[in-house]
A and B are shown apart, each in its own frame.
Chain A
Amino acid sequence: MNKKIGFTCAYTPVPLIEAAGFSPFRIFPDSKAPDQAGHLLHDNLCPHVKKVLDRALADDLPELDGLIFINSCDSMRRLADAWHEAKPDDPIILVDLPSGTNSLSLDFLSKEYERLAKTLFRWNNEPFSIKKIKDKIDNWNLVAASVKKIEKKMSRDYFPGYASGLQQIINTAATESTDKALAMAQKELQPEEPAKAGLAPVFLFGNLLFDPKVFDLFEEWNVHVTASDFCTTSRFITPVDTTADDNIFRALASSYMEQTPCARTMDTAKPGDIAQKIVQRAKKSNARGVIGFTLKFCDPYLARIPMIRQALQKESIPFLMLEGDCTMGSMGQQQTRIEAFTEMLGV
Chain B
Amino acid sequence: MKHLILAYLDPGTGSLILQIIIASIVGAFFVLKNLWKRIIFFFKGFFHIH
B and A form one assembly: no
A residues near B, CB below 8 A? none
Residues of B near any A CB (own CB < 8 A)? none
